[in-house]
Structure 1
Amino acid sequence: MSSSTERGAAGHVDRVADYYDNNTRRFLLVAESPGSDAIHRGVWTPDAVTSADAMDTVNRLLIERLRGHVPPGDARVLDVGCGVGATMVRLAREVDGLISGVTISRVQAEIAAKRFAREGLTDRCQVICADFAELPAEPHYDAMVAVEAVVHSPSLKDLLPSLADRLRPGGRLILCDDWLTDKDRGLAARERCLDQFRAGWRIGSLHTVAELDAMSEHAGLRVVEDLDLTSYLRLGRPRDRVVKLAVGATAVVPRLRDRLVEIPLWANMVGGSALQAGLARRWLEYRLIVLEKA
């Protein structure tokens, strides 16, 4: 990697850290299910009756795909981009072993550590405040999960081999995130929408599943499941419509919009509104993808 590329990647990582340091506490206050302490999206599968159920859907899907794939008693699982540790706590209740997590955000790491203490899980859950692209060579993990995290990487192509190196043979890497589609590729409105999503949410890696498949093969991983969850998201909620109006009001003054997107709170609104539009038009899809190491 050239020095200029390295500087660009480091700058992007710093922007991601600043984004989450400044926004995380607000995310917890306005979560789809306040009190759930989860900051990922709710997924309203048919068996999700309450908002708490919807917020737990992704965790449940992860656990189902880990069963039988991690050894009982001494399993090691890593949550890549662990946020405030909600998924880690859920995993610790279902997986017999050590659950580690890594987040770039100092604020998130502090909240997660306090949660583990409250839950009596400090001996089984540990959080590291670091760049998940720079994990130590040891230990190796039986499985890794990443929920709405790898899109923040400056280079998924570089990240995948790094994670694969730290997976034990046969280990699983489960990604739940936003993926590009080829629908309307080249359409000006689509490209503007995706640019706003990237800028607002500090997105560094946005790829199609086909691109992921090729990168995974190069890293010694293979896709064993690809589950489309997009239709189970609730788009266009009242607060989403309010945000859309607020963001749209700045679109008439591009210079103002570009300045506001540097403010973490406003960046979240810009990126979130663009994400809603992208998902509604199927320019983006929310998918859970299971990879296995040979």
Structure 2
Amino acid sequence: MNADSSTNKSVATLYDQLSRFMVWQNYFQFCRRITSLTIHKTLHIPPGIKNLYDKKNQGEYINDVVLQSALPGDYPIVLDAGCGFGSTIFRWYSKKPGKYVGYSLSPFQVDKARREAARRGISSHCQFFLKSYDDPIAEKYQYIIAIESLIHANDLQQAVTNLVQALLPGGKLIIVDDMAETDLESDDPDLVLLKKSWSLNRLRIQKQYSAAFKTNHLKLTEQRDFTGQVRVSREKKLKRKKAILQFLLKVMPFNDIRFIVDAYLGGFALEELYRRKKVNYILMVGQK
């Protein structure tokens, strides 16, 4: 097994286990299997539009931001490269019916997304596949979305190249991701923990995403910084959360639960990097 396939397998396991935990957590909190299909960050919503979102759908805010950045026409052809449970696709389809395709490395996510599409009666319009964005893509799309997914790319340049090749002329690639402010020291404890827990090869800086756009002749049409809207706990609270999970990791005998605890530790490490102002949450739109 090569390094790329090994990393993809680790990421697939990460997505699978966390997704199962989300379903379990929702069931015990709200007595529902899934209250929200959103997996990515829930941001602070600007006061002027906060009333448009209730507690359960605040995660849709970034989906709406991405939709506004794309400005799709009638019946758009869209690929979500890292679709999770399909939240972005279902949100977009509700506002702009079209042809939507989602890729995920997680069999559990793909199964849930397909079931939800069937429940809504839109399976012929919203399709989901167990596939990596590194795999060859035969179809062509007007819009390709990657929300918090390229952070896991083994080779960012190659991943962007592969996605751009699947864009129609004039099509848009829309990325939203965690990007380091500058190169962090390799022994930074939060970076080390994040990489280990999330199976990351590295945490890339924003300039590397810009370089990938330039190399692939994408015109940067929009760039927005949402770092100030990322929810970050206070230092003492973060340290307390990390200490509790690190203790659980030592004493917990069940591997599946240990895996989830470790993944959450990675999330707290990323949150700590945000608190230290080492990472930014950036939206970039490139047009072919």
Assess same fold via TM > 0.5: yes
* Aligned residue number for residue 179 of structure 1: 179
* Aligned residue number for residue 219 of structure 1: 216
AA aligned opposite 2:156: L
Determine helix, strand or coil for the equivalent of 2:78.
Answer: strand
CA offset digits 1:220-275 (Å, max 9, x no partner): 21322221112112222899665322245489x8xx9xxx8994212212201101
Per-residue deviation at 1:156? 0.8
1:213-292, aligned counterparts within 5 Å? Answer: 213-236=210-233, 243-249=241-247, 263-292=258-287
CA offset digits 1:162-196 (Å, max 9, x no partner): 1000001111111111001128x4385xx221121
Structure 1 distance, partners of 2:23, 2:240, is: 19
With over 3 angstroms needed to count, the CA separation of the structure-2 counterparts of 1:83 and 1:187, relative to structure 1, is closer
Task: Count residues with an aligned counterpart.
Answer: 276
* Aligned residue number for residue 210 of structure 1: 207
Structure 1 distance, partners of 2:24, 2:68, is: 29
Determine helix, strand or coil for the equivalent of 2:262.
Answer: helix
**Residue 72 of structure 1 is aligned with which of 67, 70, 74?**
74
Mean Cα deviation higher: 108-117 or 93-102: 93-102
AA aligned opposite 2:185: G
AA aligned opposite 2:286: L
Structure 1 distance, partners of 2:114, 2:12, is: 17
The answer to whether residue 15 in structure 2 is matched with residue 20 in structure 1 is yes
Mean Cα deviation higher: 228-237 or 171-180: 228-237
1:67-216, aligned counterparts within 5 Å? Answer: 67=71, 70-73=72-75, 75-136=76-137, 138-182=138-182, 185-186=184-185, 188=187, 191-216=188-213
Please say if residues 78 and 101 of structure 2, whose CA atoms lie closer than 8 Å, have aligned partners that are also in contact: yes
Structure 2 distance, partners of 1:30, 1:241, is: 23
* Aligned residue number for residue 61 of structure 2: 57
With over 3 angstroms needed to count, the CA separation of the structure-2 counterparts of 1:121 and 1:196, relative to structure 1, is same
Please say if residues 79 and 102 of structure 2, whose CA atoms lie closer than 8 Å, have aligned partners that are also in contact: yes
Please say if residues 81 and 149 of structure 1, whose CA atoms lie closer than 8 Å, have aligned partners that are also in contact: yes
Please say if residues 220 and 284 of structure 2, whose CA atoms lie closer than 8 Å, have aligned partners that are also in contact: yes
AA aligned opposite 1:65: S
CA offset digits 1:95-150 (Å, max 9, x no partner): 231010000110100000001011111121000111121033x2100001111111
Counting aligned pairs with the same residue, the percent is 23
Per-residue deviation at 1:65? 1.3
* Aligned residue number for residue 3 of structure 1: none
AA aligned opposite 2:111: E
Please list every run of 5 or more consecutive structure 1 residues that lacks an aligned counterpart in the other structure: 1-5
Determine helix, strand or coil for the equivalent of 2:212.
Answer: helix
Please say if residues 133 and 162 of structure 2, whose CA atoms lie closer than 8 Å, have aligned partners that are also in contact: no
AA aligned opposite 2:242: K
- TM-score, normalised via structure 1 length: 0.84
Structure 2 distance, partners of 1:205, 1:142, is: 30
Please list every run of 5 or more consecutive structure 2 residues that lacks an aligned counterpart in the other structure: none
- TM-score, normalised via structure 2 length: 0.86
AA aligned opposite 1:158: Q
Determine helix, strand or coil for the equivalent of 1:65.
Answer: helix
Structure 2 distance, partners of 1:154, 1:263, is: 25
Mean Cα deviation higher: 105-114 or 217-226: 217-226
